Amino acid sequence: MKYPRIIIDLKKIENNIEQIVRITKRESGCTTLALVTKGHCADPEIVKLLAKNPEVDFLADSRIENIKKYYDILGTDENGNLAGGKKSMMLRIPMQSELAEIVKYVDVCQVSEIETIKLLDKEAAAAGKIQDILLMIDMGDLREGLFFRDKEKIYEVAAEILTLNNIKLRGISVNMNCYGAIIPKEDNLSEFVGIAKEIEKRNGVVLDIVSGGNSGTMYLSDSGRLPEGITNVRIGESHLLGTESSYLGQVSGTELGTFILEAEIVEIQVKPSLPIGESGHDAFGHIPYYEDKGEMKRAIIAVGKQDVELDSMIPLDEKIEIMGGSSDHIILDITHCEREYKLGDIVGFRISYTGMLRTTTSEYVERIYK
Ligand SMILES: *Cc1c(COP(=O)(O)O)cnc(C)c1O
């Protein structure tokens, strides 16, 4: 057995996928669903699970490298499309330097700049293809997208896109809960749906994808409040971890503990809680603060910030407190634990989004499936 390792519970994730399908498609009226793989760099076993569910329409990622992996994992049909009928969706607005690969591997691409869309049109023409896109609208979170208050500009850009021969405007999309941490609500999402309706009316077209956001929308869908007219959502966190990102609740029917990090204890010593000597900067250049809690029983586990994020670890033994860490060590307060820990023992943690991202990108963390 090699540690640290991450145990990925495929049974639980399979159930979570089914719950997201139920809530978004069967109960909230989405006609398509995109499930997002960037949280685990398109892990092959999870990608296969997504492909198995007939109601998952898109596999989505923000990195072209991960989207390319889908083709290796699932194989292709005679036309070079993903085998099994799944479509790929690119989440990050594209770099000019990756447009040829986008045309080759991405079925639907999110874009915000008309200049990029025109280059994409040229690239698609050269490849003899039609590239489907979603025009991104910024509803106030202030990351990517055309700004919602400048509606005439949005309508002009949409009209211009519709004149391009090798681009198909499938719809619009919005992302929240990111830079500005703005929560998707009935009002901002309804205004977003209104923009889609106006583009349809002015141009006599149908936009079949009105993509309302990420796991931050799950609290709305889960309580039957996703505004009418939102026909698609792009969900990562909620099917992977069972949580939603607006109010940090658990999505109904999902299971937690899908990703468990296990690490081995390499030292147990009783020491004071306050470091001794003149205090400077820690291993990451910060000036730390310590509380005097007297002597404590401290365990060091052989895993660090290079493999996981401390704030994202929830000890399975609730009596453990995470004291801090550096690149390769994490220090735990085990003073109040009922279990008598000894050297070589394994400690487990539930991890949240950033932890999942780090553990699945660290080459030092072994992956185990169950
Ligand atoms: C990452 C991402 C998502 C999925 O986010 P989750 O919070 O994991 O559901 C959806 N859309 C865009 C544009 C993203 O970058």
Average pLDDT across the chain, whole number: 97
How far apart are the C-alpha atoms of 79 and 263, rounded to whole Å? 45
Q: Write the residue with the smallest CA distance to atom 14 of ligand 1.
A: 91
- Ligand 1 mean position, distance from CA 33 (Å): 13
CA of 39 to the centre of ligand 1 (A): 9
144 CB less than 6 Å from ligand 1? no
Q: Which of 236, 258, 362, 368 is nearest to 308 (CA)?
A: 362
Q: What percent of the chain has pLDDT over 70?
A: 100
C-alpha to C-alpha distance for 126 and 100, rounded to whole angstroms: 9
Residue 215 C-alpha to ligand 1 middle, in angstroms?
Answer: 7
CB of 36 within 6 A of ligand 1: the answer is yes
Residue 341 has pLDDT above 90, yes or no: yes
The answer, yes or no, to whether residue 196 has pLDDT greater than 90, is yes
* Residue 289 pLDDT class (50, 70, 90 cuts): confident
Give the pLDDT score at 72: 98
How many CA atoms lie less than 13 Å away from 206 in the CB half-sphere?
Answer: 2
Question: Distance of CA 23 to CAs 31, 54, 252, Å?
Answer: 12, 15, 9
Q: How far apart are CA 321 and CA 315, in angstroms?
A: 8
Closest by Cα among 78, 161, 77, 40 to 59: 40
Kindly report, residue by residue over 3-35, the tens digit of the pLDDT.
Answer: 999 999 999 999 999 999 999 999 999 999 999
Residue 367's beta-bridge partner residues? Answer: 6
pLDDT of 232: 98
The tokens 């898109």 sit on which residue? 58
The SS3 assignment for 175 reads coil
pLDDT higher than threshold 90 for residue 1: no
Could you identify the residue written with the tokens 């670890």?
313
59 — phi, psi (to 5°)?
-100, 125
Element of type H or E holding 234? strand 232-235
d(CA 68, CA 209): 23
38 is an active site residue:
yes
Query: Which residue in 11, 12, 38, 185 is the catalytic one?
Result: 38
Segment 223-276, tens digit of pLDDT? 999 999 999 999 999 999 999 999 999 999 999 999 999 999 999 999 999 999
pLDDT tier for residue 291 given thresholds of 50, 70 and 90: confident
Which run of H or E residues covers position 332? strand 330-333
**Strand, helix or coil for residue 178:** coil
